[in-house]
Amino acid sequence: MGKHAAAADAQHPTEVTLERVAEALRGLGFASVQRDDAPDRLVVAALSFTAAVWIDYRQPMALVVDTAERIPTDFEHATALARFINTWNHDRVGPAASYRLAESGDFTVRMRRPIHIKHGLTDEQLGAELVDTLAHAASFSTKLRTRFLDAALDHLLPPQLLRLQDAEVLNGRHPSLRHLPRGGREDIVSAPELFAPLDAALRPVAPETLAGVLDSLDFRYAMNESGIIATGVNGVPFALTVDGDSDETYARVTGMWDTGLDADEEFLRLWLVCNDVNERATGAAAYLHEFDGRLHMHAEATMLATAGAAAEQVEEFTVSSLAACLASIDYVSQLVSGRSAVEWPNT
C-alpha cells in the first residue's frame, strides 16, 4: 500500500469532491475521466474491470467506488459463482462483490465500496482508501478469471474495446441505478446528507475507540481479550472490532441473524436476497455464514483505519453502520421469512 509523507496526526479532514478524488488518483498513478457537462461520476482506467466513482448523498454520505468485470461470467456457473462471491465477502473486508444477470444471459460481476465522507477525509485517508479499494478489486478480478474464465479468453481486451466500455460507463445510465429496471427511478426517502466540517486531528483507532461510541449512546456491551465487542440493538446481536495490522487496519461493525435455514437446501435462495442488498446498498454488505448446518446472515460495514480517524469520523461510521446493518437484516428477513428479525420500537 502507498505511504504518504505527512503524519496522520498533523492533518485535518477536508471536504471530498470528485475533483479532489481525480487529483488523488493521478498522484497514485491512475488515470480518470469525467464529463464536463454532467460531472456526476469519474471513470478510472483499469485493465480487467471498469471503475466508476461518485458521491452518494444518501445517509451515510459516501464516496462510492463501483467496479464491473469487463468479461461476463457464463450462466452455467450460477451456483458456483454465488458461493465464490459469498466466500469472498465472508472472508475479506473492503469492497463487497455481487452479480447481476445481464441481457445477454450471462452474469456481470461487480464490486462496490462506500467510503464515509460526511466529515471529509485527509489526503492520507483518501489515498489509502482508493489504493485499498482498487487493490481489492484487482485481486478479486484475478481470482474470478482464474476460476471461471476459459484460459483461451483470459487476455487483455483491445484498447478500442476498453475505451468503448469506459465510455459507456461514463455516458450511460448512472451506476447507482444498476439494480433498477431500465427507466426506473430511485425513491427519495430522506433529505440529502451534506458535508459537516470539523477541526480535529486523526488519532489511532482501537476497539476502545468503538466502545467509547457505545458509551456515548448508553449501550450495554462486553469486550473480550481479543478486542471484540458484543452488544445488541433492537434484538439483533452485533460485534464490533478493529482488525488488521500496521499495514491495513479496519474498523468493523457486524450484525447477525440466525435464519434457522438449512445451509445446503436454502443457500441459493437466501444468498440471492443478500446479493440484492449488495447490488443496491451503500451502507452495509450482506453475506452468509454456515454454523452447525444452518445459515446465519451477516450485515457488515467497514472503515479503513490505517491512517487513523477523528473521533467524529468514528462516531459517524459506527452509528450509521449500526443503522445500515439493521436495515439490511430487516430487508432480508422480511423477504425470506415474512417477518422482520429487527425489533423496531413501536411508533
Position 9 scores a pLDDT of 38
Residue 198 has pLDDT above 80, yes or no: yes
Question: Is pLDDT of 70 > 70?
Answer: yes
Q: What would the pLDDT profile of 177-187 be if each residue is shown by its tens digit?
A: 877 666 667 66
Q: What is the DSSP string of 45-110?
A: --SSEEEEEEEE-SSSPEEEEEEEESSPBPGGGHHHHHHHHHHHHHH--SSEEEEEE-TTSSEEEE
Query: Closest Cα partner for 1 from 301, 333, 249, 242?
Result: 249
**pLDDT over threshold 70, residue 76:** yes
Percent of the chain at pLDDT > 70 equals: 94
Q: From CA 239, how far away is CA 184, in angstroms rounded? A: 36
**Exposed (0-12), middle (13-18) or buried (19+): which is 159, by Cβ within 10 Å?**
exposed
pLDDT tens digit string along 297-333?
A: 999 999 999 999 999 999 999 999 999 999 999 999 9
Give the pLDDT confidence score for residue 5 in this predicted structure.
Answer: 35
Task: Find out whether 186 and 177 touch, Cβ atoms under 8 Å.
Answer: yes
The pLDDT tens digits of the residues spanning 215-234 come to 999 999 999 999 999 999 99
Global pTM value: 0.92
Predicted pLDDT at 7:
41
Residue 112 pairs in a beta bridge with: 66, 96
Residue 164 has pLDDT above 50, yes or no: yes
Q: Name beta bridge partners: 238.
A: 231, 255
**Helix/strand/coil percent split, the chain, to 5:** 35, 25, 35
Domains and CATH numbers, the chain: 8-177 (3.30.1460.70), 207-337 (3.30.1460.10)
What value does the mean pLDDT of the chain take?
92
